[in-house]
Structure 1
Amino acid sequence: MTQRLDTHTFQTVVAHTPLISLDLIVENAEGQVLLGQRLNKPAQGYWFVPGGRVLKDETLATAFARLTKEELGVELQLSDAALIGPFEHFYDDNFSGDDFTTHYVVLGYRLKLDVPLTHLPKEQHGHYQWFDVATLLNTDDVHRHTKLYFL
């Protein structure tokens, strides 16, 4: 059974271990990429792809279904996406402050989905926008870890 950790325990984990996460590189029919403006640390205020961490005892398939439901408002299966590879994300801050770093080992998954921006959840991202790849690569407030998916 998967469960979320209490804040203190999660701080200890983040301070001492890498986290495993899935990033969702969502493309619409026009080839534009979905980005959300992050509300939380790390990468707060930056445009970033949707995604999230894998929970303890959660399979990648279950995590993918959960994260697509939480981040995109529609539950998809791992078979709906293509793995584009592993990535590493390093941040100078963490979800609770600036007193320790965050390290993610990220599995990037590309998928096609036309979803109305007004239907997207607002827990992690305050605003959403479809970006052309050339535009996102040349926009200062698109996070560098997001840009690496397209280089």
Structure 2
Amino acid sequence: MKNSIKIFTSLIVTALIFIGIACQPQHEQQMTEHMDADEHYSEDSIPLIYHMSFIQRYATKLYFSGMEENWGLADIYAHELEEISEVIVDGNHMDDGVDVSTLMESMLPPQIESIEEAIDAQDRAMFEERYQTMIQTCNQCHQASDYGLVKVTVPETNPFAQDFSAE
């Protein structure tokens, strides 16, 4: 009986060891490969929504920078928006027969240029007015591309752990 208990205990311990090993995280290399999986996209295959999420992010940061009259930071975010919109334009994105790239090219870059004029003038009122126009233009583009359910608004609260003040 004592031998049976020892054998049973040994089997349980061995089973727990195997279960513990099996439940360990993957090897570091495999984990790194998984974490970097998005880097395997070619520039042409990155989904449009990925770019749009960055447009929303930088547009929000642009707004808070401008409203705080941090013109240098606002200029940085305006340039980021230009770069992302260029990627979308150059990506020839079609969605259900809608040429999103052409819509983007005709709608967003002119609005960014208009906002850059307000940034260069360091005019908060002009900035706010032109930002509002950009948001309206974004929503018009969403309507034109059959994504009218996507309605962007002027931000009300800062969602970032970032201070946008000039000093």
Quick check: TM above 0.5? no
Higher strand share: 1
Query: Which structure has the higher relative contact order (CA within 8 Å, separation 6+)?
Result: 1
TM-score by length of 2: 0.27
